Amino acid sequence: MIHAAGLVPFTTIDFPGRLAAVIFLQGCPLRCPFCQNPALQSPDTPTDTDWTDIFAFLESRRNRLDGIVLSGGEPLMMPGITSLAEYIKSLGYQLAIHTSGVYPDRLRDLLPLIDWVGLDVKAPRDKYDLLTGRPHMVDKVWESLTILRDNRIDFEVRTTCDPRYLTIDDIARLGKELAAANVSTYVLQTYRTFDGDINPPEESAIRSFFRDQALQDQLSALFPHYGTR
């Protein structure tokens, strides 16, 4: 059973070039220490979001929204994700997936239904276990990246820069790893503090990645499409 955790009825930033809504799904196998949605980690946590309301919303926005984003949590953790994706597509929506990439087989199965993917790559390969709280995930992420690239799915790779766990050198090394994998679109995301954040980083530390001109120049040179948000 898929547990819905929330709905954002309108967004212009989560599905590039489309007017969209976001459905958040409950559950994630990772335990990233910088997770901004820790309440979404357990698939068994009760939520106040009712699928009846979501389905009614989807029906009511047909021909008014371009697409629907499935996010989380980790949407590909859900065994019923294919049925949900098929339903969304049957209503005429385009479909985007935000994923950590740790379920490459499910990603592969969903390819015929997907129009765009936001792939969260957390860290350079040697720091992946530390930053996800789970061992043996990095090869799955790189397999997902290869699936997207080889099947010519429109996607971006993005990394959230939490200065408590990542350094400028980490991002520089990760950039080289992604460029070697022929990633064309890469986005650095600003870490945003939240209620309940334990020992949140200083704003100056958060901004350090984006003020470092050498890093920005390197990433701009490595990727045909590079940006920050």
Q: What are phi and psi of 95, to 5 degrees?
A: -125, 130
Structural tokens at position 83: 């049925």
Query: pLDDT digits over 96-113, tens only?
Result: 999 999 999 999 999 999
Per-residue pLDDT, 104: 98
Per-residue pLDDT, 41: 86
Cα–Cα separations (whole angstroms), residue 174 to 23, 50, 123, 129, 215: 29, 39, 6, 15, 11
**Domain residue ranges in the chain:** 4-228
Per-residue pLDDT, 192: 92
* CATH H-level superfamily of 4-228: Aldolase class I (3.20.20.70)
Half-sphere exposure of residue 100: CA atoms within 13 angstroms, side-chain side? 25
Per-residue pLDDT, 45: 79
Query: Looking at 27-31, 41-45, 80-84, 132-136, which range is the least confident one?
Result: 41-45
Residue with tokens 């047909």: 62
| Average pLDDT over the chain, rounded to an integer | 95
* CA dist., res. 186 & res. 53, Å (int): 35
Query: pLDDT digits over 44-102, tens only?
Result: 777 888 999 999 999 999 999 999 999 999 999 988 899 999 999 999 999 999 999 99
* CA dist., res. 163 & res. 178, Å (int): 20
Per-residue pLDDT, 43: 81
